[in-house]
Chain A
């Protein structure tokens, strides 16, 4: 079955520092991959969506970027973090349109 590995679980970074969050998947090929962010007490905000290697759709203008260098690898990055980048980041996948699977998330605190 499909599995998503997302790390680290928690991260504290200073303002202005770079960011790299990695998500890898197992048990499927050519999935659609997603990065979501949840601010405290808020719903899911879709950040990036990918249907294949090198294909990234950005849903909102922001300080973040995403890359998909391999079929089962999805990376969220920033060159300089802002306080407003704090939140709970979730990686997800869908395949064959039957449901979405989620990683356990990364709690990012920018200080």
Chain B
């Protein structure tokens, strides 16, 4: 069975410091990989995704994630965080390439930025 593990439930960092949010997955088939962000009392928004091609993907607000197939990981990084990055971040996979494939989420990582 497929699963997604986010190793850290909370990550506190200081403003302008680098951050890494870890995500590992388990799947017997190829996967699509995603990071979503959720601000308080809102739905989830897509941050970035890996479908194919270059294993390094970037978002418009400075986040990046790298697909590592051998380590089954898709860690999210940002070299310098801002207060506005405070949110909950969810890693997700869609296993297989069928239209009936179900998206599977990790348990989330709460990123808190200290001034």
Contact = CB atoms under 8 A, between A and B. Distances in A.
A97 B98 contact: yes
B41 A105 contact: yes
A103 B92 contact: no
A65 B72 CA distance: 35
Interface string B40-63: 011111100101000000000000
Given A32-B100, A51-B100, A94 B43 contact: no
Contacts of A95: 99
Contact of B49 (A88, A90, A99): A99
A90 B44 contact: yes
A99 B34 contact: yes
Interface in B94-109: 94, 96-103, 105-108
B92 A104 contact: no
B49 A97 contact: no
Contacts of A107: 41
Interface in A3-45: 4, 6, 30, 32, 34, 43-44
Nearest to A41: B110
A3 to B, nearest CB: 12
**Helix, strand, loop or mixed for chain A's interface?**
strand
Nearest to B51: A98
Contacts of B36: 100, 102
Contacts of B51: 98
Nearest to A90: B43
A74 interface: no
B104 to A, nearest CB: 8
15 contacts: A6-B43, A43-B107, A44-B90, A44-B108, A88-B41, A95-B99, A96-B99, A97-B94, A97-B97, A99-B49, A100-B36, A100-B92, A102-B43, A103-B43, A105-B41
